[in-house]
Amino acid sequence: MRTRIARSIVAVTALVIVILGIPLAIIIQRFYESRATVELQRSAALAVAELTVPLDAAEIAAAASEPDAPDEFSVYGEDGGRLYGPGPATLPAADPDQIIVVSPITDRRSEAVVGSVLVTRQRSEIAADARQAWALMALAALAGIALAVLIARREATRLAAPITDLADRADQLGSGGFATGGCPTGIPEIDTLSDALNASDQRLAEALAREREFSANASHQLRTPLASLRLGLERGDIETAEREAGRLQQTVEHLLDLSRGALRSARATDIEQLVRDAERRWHPVFERDGRTMTATVAAHLPAGQVRQTSIEQVLDIVLDNSLQHGAGTTRIDALPAPGGLVVAISDDGPGIAAVQQDTVFQRHRGSGHGIGLALARTLIEADGGRLLLADPARAEFRIVLLAEPAEPGLGLSGRP
Q: What confidence score (pLDDT) does residue 382 get?
A: 82
Flag whether pLDDT at 406 surpasses 50: no
Q: How confident is the model at residue 369 (pLDDT cuts 50, 70, 90)?
A: very low
Name the range with the highest mean pLDDT among 52-61, 169-178, 285-294.
Answer: 285-294
| 351 close to 359: Cβ distance less than 8 angstroms | no
Q: How confident is the model at residue 286 (pLDDT cuts 50, 70, 90)?
A: very high
Beta bridge partners of 389: 397
SS3 percent helix, strand, coil of the chain, rounded to 5, is: 55, 15, 30
Sheet holding 329-337, edge to edge: 292-297, 329-337, 340-346, 396-402, 386-391
List CB contacts of 406: < 8 A, sequence separation 6 or more.
Answer: 414
3-state class (DSSP) for residue 168: helix
- Please state, in angstroms and as integers, the Cα–Cα distance from residue 42 to each residue in 37, 46, 74, following that order: 9, 6, 14
List CB contacts of 365: < 8 A, sequence separation 6 or more.
Answer: 371
- Mean pLDDT across 150-169: 78
| In the chain, where the domains are located | 2-145, 178-262, 265-402
List CB contacts of 410: < 8 A, sequence separation 6 or more.
Answer: 339, 416
Q: What confidence score (pLDDT) does residue 293 get?
A: 94
Q: How confident is the model at residue 379 (pLDDT cuts 50, 70, 90)?
A: confident
Q: What confidence score (pLDDT) does residue 177 get?
A: 59
Q: How confident is the model at residue 412 (pLDDT cuts 50, 70, 90)?
A: very low
Distance, in Å, from the CA atom of 327 to the CA atom of 351, rounded to the nearest integer, reads: 9
3-state class (DSSP) for residue 228: helix
List CB contacts of 300: < 8 A, sequence separation 6 or more.
Answer: 336
CA within 13 Å, CB half, 171: 6
At 316-365, the pLDDT tens digits run 989 999 999 999 999 999 999 998 999 999 999 999 988 888 888 886 55
The model carries a pTM of 0.46
Flag whether pLDDT at 43 surpasses 50: yes
Is beta strand 386-391 parallel, antiparallel or unpaired with respect to 340-346?
unpaired
Q: How confident is the model at residue 6 (pLDDT cuts 50, 70, 90)?
A: confident
Of the listed ranges 154-163, 230-239, 350-359, the one predicted with least confidence? 230-239
List CB contacts of 303: < 8 A, sequence separation 6 or more.
Answer: 268, 269, 270, 271, 403, 404
DSSP code of 81? B
Of the listed ranges 39-43, 102-106, 216-220, 395-399, the one predicted with least confidence? 216-220
Name the range with the highest mean pLDDT among 60-74, 244-258, 332-346, 367-381.
Answer: 332-346
State the chain's mean pLDDT as an integer: 79
Q: What confidence score (pLDDT) does residue 415 get?
A: 36
Distance, in Å, from the CA atom of 175 to the CA atom of 116, rounded to the nearest integer, reads: 94
Flag whether pLDDT at 215 surpasses 70: no
Instruction: Domain 2-145: give its CATH code.
Output: 3.30.450
| 76 close to 82: Cβ distance less than 8 angstroms | yes
Q: What confidence score (pLDDT) does residue 225 get?
A: 60
At 164-183, the pLDDT tens digits run 777 777 777 666 555 566 66
Report the length, in residues, of the chain: 416
Q: What percent of the chain has pLDDT over 70?
A: 75
Q: Which CATH architecture has domain 265-402?
A: 2-Layer Sandwich (3.30)
Higher pLDDT, 194 or 394: 394
| 274 close to 311: Cβ distance less than 8 angstroms | yes
Is beta strand 304-305 parallel, antiparallel or unpaired with respect to 113-122?
unpaired
Alpha helices in 51-114 (DSSP H): 57-64
